[in-house]
Amino acid sequence: MLKVTNTLTGKKEQFTPLIPGKVLMYVCGVTPYAPAHIGHGRCYVSFDVVYRFLKFLGYDVRYCRNFTDIDDKLINKAEKEFGDRQRYKELADTYIRSFHDDMRVLDCQSPDFEPCVTDNIPAIIEFIKGLIAQGNAYQSGGDVYFSVRSFDHYAELSKHNLDDLCAGARVDVRESKRDPLDFALWKSEPTGTFWKSPWGYGRPGWHIECSALAAKYLGDQIDIHGGGLDLVFPHHENERAQSEALHKKTFARYWLHNGLLNLDKEKMSKSIGNVLTLDALFQQYDPMVLRFYFLNHHYRSPMDFSLDDMPGIQKSYNRLCHAFQSVPMQKITFADAEHISVLARMCQVMEEDFNTAAAIGIVFEHLNEIKNDPKAAGAVKSFLHNVFGLSLVPIAEKGVEITPEIQKLLDAREQARRDKNWKRADELRDQLKELGHDVQDKKI
Ligand SMILES: [Zn+2]
C-alpha cells in the first residue's frame, strides 16, 4: 500500500495509478547550459529511487525526463562564447554529455524517454494550436500567450492568490499581453531564425515543452509529475494549466516535489557564486558517498549540505559496505520481502512516501542481526543495491583527509580548468600529486 505526499492536496495519499499495474512518470529535466550541481544530483537521485522502488513493487513504469535544449540562457551563452546565438545547440550537447556522465557515476538509471525540446517542435506547435482553438491562448504580434484567467483552476497547485500574483507580475515592455498574469507559449524571433510556425518564426516558451512532451511520450494523463520544490511556481502551475485546459482532464494524479538543498546553510545560487558542481565534488569523493548522503534525508525535506559532513558520511557508508562485503547477493522480489522481517520493515517505511532515511536507519539498527542471518543479509544487500542504487563497494580510505591546504589547491585547480587555463591546472595537479593526491578529471 504505497502512499505518496501530493503537493496539490498537501496530503499523504494512497497511490492508485490510472491504469492498474502501470505508472506514467514525468520529471522536469535540466537546461544544459552549465555543469549540473549537487541540487540537480539530489533531485534526480530522489526520482531514481522512486522509479526503482515502483519497479520493485511490480509496476511497469514509463519514466520521461526532458532536456530544455533551447532557452535564453543557452542562447546568451552561445552569443558570448561563439559570437553566434545559433550555436546554442553545441553548448547544449556538451552539457547533455556531462549530465549523462554525472548520472551514470551516480548510478541513476536512464529514463525510458529523454526527449530534447528541439527534436519536438512540431508537437509543441500542435499543442499551442489546440489551446488557441479552444480560446485558452491568443496570438499577439508574433507571440502567443496563455490566457491564465481562461483556466478556472489556476494557482491551485502553488496556492497563490490571483490578485497577489497580478499585483506582483512584471510586464516586459516588449510583451503585449492582455493580462499581466498571461505567459508566453511562443516567442517571436524578428530575425527570422529558429522555427517556422503559424505565427511566424520563433521558439517555444519554457513551460509548454513539458505539457507537450508529457502528452507525446506518456499520454494526456500521467500518474506522477516530479521535480524540485522550486518548480512548483510558475513552471508546474503553468504546465498544469496548459495540459488541463487542452485535454480537459486531470493532468497529473500526484505532484511530487523534492526539498531544496542548501549549501553551507545558504541557497545555492550561481549569481552569488554559491554553487558546488557534481563534477567538482566527484574529484574529492566517490559519487556513491553523495548518493548515500542524499538517501539519508527524506526526499521532501530540505537538506543542508556541507562538505564538512562528507568524511562522516563516507565512514558510515563504508561501515555498510564492509558489513555486506562477503555477503552474496540474493535475488528478491517484493513478494519475498514479507518473509524477511528486516526487509519487510524497510519496505513498510518506503511505502510511506519513499522514506529512504528511515529504511537506512532500520538497516543500521539490525546490522548485527543481519550478519547472523545469511538469507536476510543477501536480501537486504540486494535491496540496497537494486532499489537504493548503492554499489556497496568499500571506498578506499585514502583521499579522505582533505586538509585546508589540499582544498585550496583543488579549488584553484577547478577554477583554472573553468578558465581553460590548462597549463596552470597541470601545475596544480603536479603539486597535488607531490602531496599524495591523484586527481582524476572528467570532461568539463
Ligand atoms: Zn517541466
Q: Does residue 102 fall inside a structural domain?
A: yes
The stretch 12-41 carries a mean pLDDT of: 98
Regarding whether 370 and 255 lie in a shared domain, the answer is no
Lowest mean pLDDT among 36-40, 240-244, 435-439: 435-439
Cβ-in-10-Å burial (0-12, 13-18, 19+) of 395 comes to middle
Between the CA of 280 and the centroid of ligand 1 the distance, in Å, is 27
Regarding whether 291 and 145 lie in a shared domain, the answer is no
Quick one: which of 258, 294, 295, 291 has its CA closest to 5?
A: 258
Supply the CATH number for residue 120's domain: 3.40.50.620
Between the CA of 207 and the centroid of ligand 1 the distance, in Å, is 6
Percent of residues, the chain, with pLDDT higher than 70: 96
Between the CA of 253 and the centroid of ligand 1 the distance, in Å, is 15
Peptide bond into 234 cis (omega under 30): yes
Quick one: which of 68, 47, 74 has its CA closest to 299?
A: 47
Q: Does residue 408 fall inside a structural domain?
A: yes
Angle 386-112-305 from CA coordinates, rounded to 5°: 55
What domain range is 368 assigned to?
A: 284-386
Angle 35-41-46 from CA coordinates, rounded to 5°: 155
Would you say residue 393 has pLDDT above 80? yes
Regarding whether 320 and 429 lie in a shared domain, the answer is no
> What confidence score (pLDDT) does residue 401 get?
61
Regarding whether 159 and 125 lie in a shared domain, the answer is yes
Of 261, 292, 312, the position where a domain reaches its end is 261
Residues 103-115: pLDDT tens digits? 999 999 999 999 9
Q: Where are the alpha helices (DSSP H) in 248-338?
A: 278-282, 287-295, 310-324, 334-337
Regarding whether 132 and 64 lie in a shared domain, the answer is yes
Q: Where are the alpha helices (DSSP H) in 136-193?
A: 162-168
Place of cell 499543442: 127
H or E element, residue 226: strand 222-228
Between the CA of 106 and the centroid of ligand 1 the distance, in Å, is 22
Regarding whether 408 and 357 lie in a shared domain, the answer is no
Regarding whether 305 and 257 lie in a shared domain, the answer is no
Q: Does residue 443 fall inside a structural domain?
A: no
Between the CA of 413 and the centroid of ligand 1 the distance, in Å, is 35
Residues 312-344: pLDDT tens digits? 999 999 999 999 999 998 889 999 899 999 999
Q: Does residue 398 fall inside a structural domain?
A: no
Regarding whether 141 and 8 lie in a shared domain, the answer is yes
Regarding whether 72 and 193 lie in a shared domain, the answer is yes
Between the CA of 279 and the centroid of ligand 1 the distance, in Å, is 24
Number of structural domains (the chain) is 3
